[in-house]
Amino acid sequence: MIRGVGPLQGRLIESLSLTPRPAPVPLCDPPDISAALRLHYGRDPIFTASGRAGLALILQYLKLRYQDEVWITTTLGWRDRRITPCVTATLAHYCRFASHPGPRTAAALVIHDYGVVHPDLEIIRDVCQRHGWPLIEDAAHALASSDRNGRALGSTGDFAFASLLKFFPVTKGGFVLGLSSNTEQDQEAKRYAACWWSQLTEITQVRLHNWHRLDAMAHRAGGAAALPLAGGSCPSLYLLRTVRQSATMQALHRRGIESGPPFYAGLVFLPCHQQVSEQWLERIEEALEEAHPLSSTPEETRCKACRYTAPRSG
């Protein structure tokens, strides 16, 4: 059994999930979290049960009609249609969506994939301003990330939403920026944010450290990061690009480590959050070594799905 670090210090955990495992809310004298977020983002938050609930609130506010389209653009550039179904399913309740702007575009949604700032955020903001399209930032994975000018992700769009679940060991929670503060708040989410917010800097440091450790392991195993970290970004996950996707996921699973998802060819998501202790990193390395034997031939290093050729290791 492995001892967790940070918020789970001293507790025994037998498996490792992609997001932090829920832990007791720390005893705190809750700061004025609305004021703290106003300072961070330059506007007031509305607390919601989840990131999805935040997106739904924004879409309701915009009164989009069914024939309207939301133009979705992501850090990874829609490569292989990698858009999380929880976003598209939420959008589908209200309107259509597309990977390009067009005559039906009524709003734009920028997704900062896995905490990494969208490279064209400012250009998209200008395009939206020219067309009068409201810009929504999906900062679900970007609670601790900023752009190259040091602005918190979520401060640029007309609206933004964030998820607490990817960063804090909580069972629910998110917030929206850009809506009127008269909107009803989720009090439990507000309490979670208040009690964990002060630990965000420490959580960010551990995540960055873990990301770099995983990156070194990935290279040793002949893989690579599918999503490099831009300056100011704090990762929600490590995205391993490997030609041995299925073998890697199985080796991780045997060691009690959650990975995923199977439907993105050539990719394996690895946890890098604050509960990934040194011992878990060692287990992950063991799994990567097992799944990527040095005896692999050049034939085996070529991925038929994405045509990526991994560098030979050793």
Q: Which of 6, 115, 134, 174 binds ligand PLP (CB under 6 A)?
A: 174
In DSSP notation, 289-306 reads HHHS-TT--GGGGB-TTT
As a whole number of angstroms, the distance between CA 88 and CA 97 comes to 8
Contact pattern from residue 230 through residue 269 relative to ligand PLP, giving x for each residue in contact according to CB under 6 A and a dash for the rest: ----------------------------------------
Nearer to ligand PLP, 141 or 207 (CB): 141
| Position 50 contacts ligand PLP (CB under 6 A) | yes
| Position 186 contacts ligand PLP (CB under 6 A) | no
Residue 89, number of CB atoms within 10 A of its CB:
10
Nearer to ligand PLP, 217 or 234 (CB): 234
| Window 197-226: residues binding ligand PLP (CB under 6 A) | none
Q: Which of 6, 7, 45, 51 binds ligand PLP (CB under 6 A)?
A: 51
Min CB(170)–ligand PLP separation in Å: 10
Nearest one of 72, 90, 80, 193 to 144, comparing CA atoms:
193
Nearer to ligand PLP, 258 or 285 (CB): 258
Closest residue (Cβ) to ligand PLP?
A: 51
Report whether 219 contacts 242 (CB < 8 A): no
Q: Which of 165, 189, 270, 291 binds ligand PLP (CB under 6 A)?
A: 165
Nearer to ligand PLP, 50 or 245 (CB): 50
| Position 163 contacts ligand PLP (CB under 6 A) | yes
Q: Which of 140, 152, 179, 267 binds ligand PLP (CB under 6 A)?
A: 140
Report whether 76 contacts 227 (CB < 8 A): yes
| Position 138 contacts ligand PLP (CB under 6 A) | yes
| Position 169 contacts ligand PLP (CB under 6 A) | no
Min CB(292)–ligand PLP separation in Å: 27
| Position 86 contacts ligand PLP (CB under 6 A) | yes
Nearer to ligand PLP, 86 or 225 (CB): 86
In DSSP notation, the chain reads -EE--GGGTT-EES-B-SSPPP-PPPP-----HHHHHHHHHSS-EEEESSHHHHHHHHHHHHT--TT-EEEEEETTTTGGG---HHHHHHHHTT-EEESS--TTEEEEEEE-GGGPPPTTHHHHHHHHHHHT--EEEE-TT-TT-B-TTSPBTTSSSSEEEEESTTTSS-SS-EEEESS-TTSPP-HHHHHHHHHHGGGHHHHHHHHHHHHHHHHHHHHHTT-EESSPPPTT---SEEEEE-S-HHHHHHHHHHTTB--B-TTSTTEEEEE-STT--HHHHHHHHHHHHHHS-TT--GGGGB-TTT--BPPPP-
Min CB(101)–ligand PLP separation in Å: 20
Nearer to ligand PLP, 128 or 162 (CB): 162
Q: Which of 111, 144, 152, 251 binds ligand PLP (CB under 6 A)?
A: 111
Nearer to ligand PLP, 33 or 72 (CB): 72
Contact footprint for ligand PLP (CB under 6 A)? 50-52, 84, 86-87, 111, 138, 140-141, 163, 165, 174
